[in-house]
Structure 1
């Protein structure tokens, strides 16, 4: 199969770059995106993208791909169906931490269905299209990383206790009331992420937490904010968190994670939350 690949080095943490490569705005800046099924700003496994691929001048052919991997190490997609312009297609963005920043390797491979004619089409059409796509995506990723690096930070706590995750139900604003989210809030000037999480959990739940390791990608939020997620446990195992600012709090087992109507940004963390809970069982 033909393979085209590009690399770039970005002076930013891998989680921020992981957010950029999954960002729907980056996908839109890359090429003629017709439709995307993502609920939030980040692509998740199972999301589908519809593109318009230029076949000849003035003629565009639709193509659909599905996200099959999306995590801190990058993102991958494949054809959503086989009845398309090419027989096979695989797109991989792989991230690696280095001493100079995050190395981004972007590769696209495909298989045309037309034999020798398809090989000629690869040279004249697909290769040209993919090369432009790789260049535009690299520029868009770099630009998005810069904007995310300047964003004010919101922190979220994945509080795990006895194999359950604490979720809280929003009471406001009206259009978000009833949906679920992780506890947390904005990091104030002079605060560390950990101090902000401890303060927010006391304010929202009336309980202190012990903050653990970060997990998952950075998650873009509305109004230019950026969310970082941390694992956490109750500082006092006998404490009973209360819904001081929310409609309700609930301890959710791993098998019910997908049942809750999570806020869109929290949906991007569900695979990592599932893994976090599974590790404690």
Structure 2
């Protein structure tokens, strides 16, 4: 059994001993493939350091998180461009729109989102979307940019069944994380109605920790708890969930 964490910020742990422990627990729990979303220019060296330490298990992406989009977003993206070519990138992400904390830079978030989608198309890469309190805005951008090259993952999906169907219809996978284990998360009602060929698994560590560790920092080694819950909802084995979702990750990322 091989589990794939399609979205983890494990690089935030910079203590080498603690980081080694995180990675060993991943491998002990069959979480052997870790996809790393970038956030801003400050996170680039952290991500690259983790890649250098664990090249067989880590796969980078490059993007400017919507919460990092400010008035100087164009300059920030300009600084990111050289880093894209330092390593093989497997996606542009995480990118998108976040209106939960601040709506001040909505226009800039949309502009940055569209420009990074352009990057992805030019490089023939998928995108990994961050969307919080902004489904309509994100969906409109995807409709505007829709073509045969637009593809990717809708990270941390927690929406309605109708929203799930809209995203799937555009050719995107749904990223399912720790929220599926929450008693009032809502995904337990929706997920049984979604074919597993449309989902991938993720932790978003150190955030959104699944039960039974909710309230503590998340880590990629907790992915089996998410996989087990998905297995229960679909009434299949965790091994089957691991196989299907890992195959899905290979389809979207190409590796």
User: Which category describes the TM-score, using the shorter chain as reference length?
Assistant: under 0.3
Which structure has greater strand proportion? Answer: 1
Which structure has greater helix proportion? Answer: 2
Instruction: Output the TM-score relative to the length of structure 1.
Output: 0.23
Instruction: Output the TM-score relative to the length of structure 2.
Output: 0.24
Flag the structure with larger Rg: 1
